[in-house]
Amino acid sequence: MLDRSYQSDNLISMETTLTDFQRNFSAARAAADRGETIKVKSAEVVYVFARQNEHPARPFADLEHLFGVVRQPQRSETPHEAIRHRLKARRTG
């Protein structure tokens, strides 16, 4: 399925099986380099293979709704005091 001879217009979606994908990885990579998206079907699961820029412009674009969700508890002692107490506990037993 990966041996198509046309250039991509970035709207082409190719489908293949996992075995074909593994056997023809270089062809799939060349297709991804042309801007095509390859969907690899394995049983009931579909994997998507596509080229991505080395450094995405917005690396956290899908995670923006999570910023500020996790909050660490306020410490009752400084890191220096925590280390002192830990070392003291080791010495005493």
Domain annotation covers residue 7:
no
Residue closest to 14 by CA, chosen among 44, 42, 48, 38: 38
**So what's the pLDDT on residue 69?**
67
Asked, for residue 5, whether it belongs to a domain, the answer is no
User: What type of residue sits at position 79?
Assistant: P
Instruction: Flag whether 76 is in a domain.
Output: yes
Q: What is the pLDDT of residue 81?
A: 93
User: Buried (b) or exposed (e) across 48-74, using 16+ Cβ within 10 A?
Assistant: ebeeeeeeeeeeeeeeeeeeeeeeeee
CA distances to 38, 51, 74 from 56, in Å: 20, 11, 34
Name the domain count of the chain: 1
> Would 6 be classed as within a structural domain?
no
Residue 62 maps to a domain: yes
Give pTM, 2 decimals: 0.42
Structural domain includes residue 49 = yes
Confidence of residue 6 (pLDDT cuts 50, 70, 90): very low
Which domain covers residue 39, as residue numbers?
13-92
What value does the mean pLDDT take over residues 40-58?
80
